[in-house]
């Protein structure tokens, strides 16, 4: 039984993709363009957005617009939403994909680096959700499509070496998505949580260790589209890796911490 209303028909569906200039976001935009979605792409990089929009048009998109914004500025969400309401009259699906990452051990933390990551990965999502929810709830009350998706990470399943800020930010997003689902699903708003494993992007290129079950952004996009079609609450992939990470959550701390140190080489 699906927890959300399955999204398996994309023709004409209005999608706002926040964090759509590169990586998973750009690949997902192209995948949805091929399926006939109407797309609004947001990110800080205007050049990256234009490049992604052109790729979407090459894949058949006839309605794709770019809306540069900074998720750390609440007013930017309101400005883009106002533009989309004027253009489309509503948005069927909002995907919160914007994020940042830097490998950090505990002794490398600074107040500035902590705020930089949390403002983008966590506060920006809260601001975005608060901005779009009145619109989505109104659409749901009218029986229209209304959905949001939050991109977390398997790094939020358990504490990991080199993820002293990134991991907690993603753990908070997982909890947020669960809270949103409990509140919003009964009111007709679908909530999807997307937890990727390792995906080859500019951000993961900063990792100096072996990344098991590494996927391309295009493979990640197809897994996300498949999850939408199934109406899953949590869309996680690649599943042989993500299930192993889920098992780590269930192990006693002594065993889990020992395994993580051994597997990641973070003995010191």
Catalytic residue among 101, 157, 166, 181: 166
The label of the residue with tokens 């996009």 reads 221
Peptide bond just before 185 cis, omega within 30 deg: no
- C-alpha 63 chain-centroid distance: 22
Q: How far apart are CA 208 and CA 164, in angstroms?
A: 16
Within 10 angstroms of residue 7's Cβ, the number of other Cβ atoms is: 24
Q: How far apart are CA 53 and CA 210, in angstroms?
A: 32
Nearest-10 Cα torsion for 251, 257, 261, 267: -160
End-to-end Cα, the chain, rounded Å: 45
Q: How far apart are CA 115 and CA 223, in angstroms?
A: 31
Within 10 angstroms of residue 202's Cβ, the number of other Cβ atoms is: 9
Q: Please give the structure tokens belonging to residue 211.
A: 């990344």
Q: How far apart are CA 244 and CA 215, in angstroms?
A: 16
Q: Which of 50, 38, 159 is nearest to 89 (CA)?
A: 38
C-alpha distances out from residue 252 to 24, 42, 164, 242, 255, Å: 33, 42, 21, 18, 6
Active-site residue flag, 101: no
Residues acting as catalytic residues: 166
């Amino acid at each position: 039984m699906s927890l959300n209303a399955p999204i398996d028909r994309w023709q004409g569906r209005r999608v706002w993709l926040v964090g759509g200039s590169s990586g998973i976001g750009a690949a997902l935009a192209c995948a949805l363009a091929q399926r006939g979605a109407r797309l609004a792409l947001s990110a800080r990089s205007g050049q990256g957005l234009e490049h992604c929009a052109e790729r979407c048009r090459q894949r058949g998109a006839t309605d794709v617009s770019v809306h540069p914004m900074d998720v750390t500025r609440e007013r930017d969400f309101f400005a883009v939403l106002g533009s989309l309401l004027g253009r489309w009259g509503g948005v069927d699906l909002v995907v919160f994909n914007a994020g940042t990452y830097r490998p950090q051990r505990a002794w490398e933390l600074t107040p500035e680096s902590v705020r930089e990551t949390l403002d983008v990965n966590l506060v920006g999502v809260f601001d975005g959700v608060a901005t779009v929810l009145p619109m989505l709830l109104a659409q749901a009350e009218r029986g229209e499509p209304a959905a949001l998706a939050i991109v977390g990470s398997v790094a939020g399943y358990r504490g990991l070496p080199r993820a002293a800020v990134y991991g907690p930010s993603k753990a908070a997003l997982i909890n947020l998505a669960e809270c949103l689902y409990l509140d919003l699903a009964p009111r007709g708003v679908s909530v999807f949580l997307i937890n990727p494993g390792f995906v080859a992007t500019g951000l993961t290129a900063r990792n100096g260790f072996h990344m098991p079950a590494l996927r391309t952004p295009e493979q990640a996009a197809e897994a996300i589209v498949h999850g939408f079609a199934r109406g899953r609450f949590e869309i996680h992939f690649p599943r042989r890796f993500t299930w192993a990470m889920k098992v780590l959550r269930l192990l006693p701390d002594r065993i889990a911490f020992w395994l993580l140190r051994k597997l990641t080489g973070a003995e010191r």
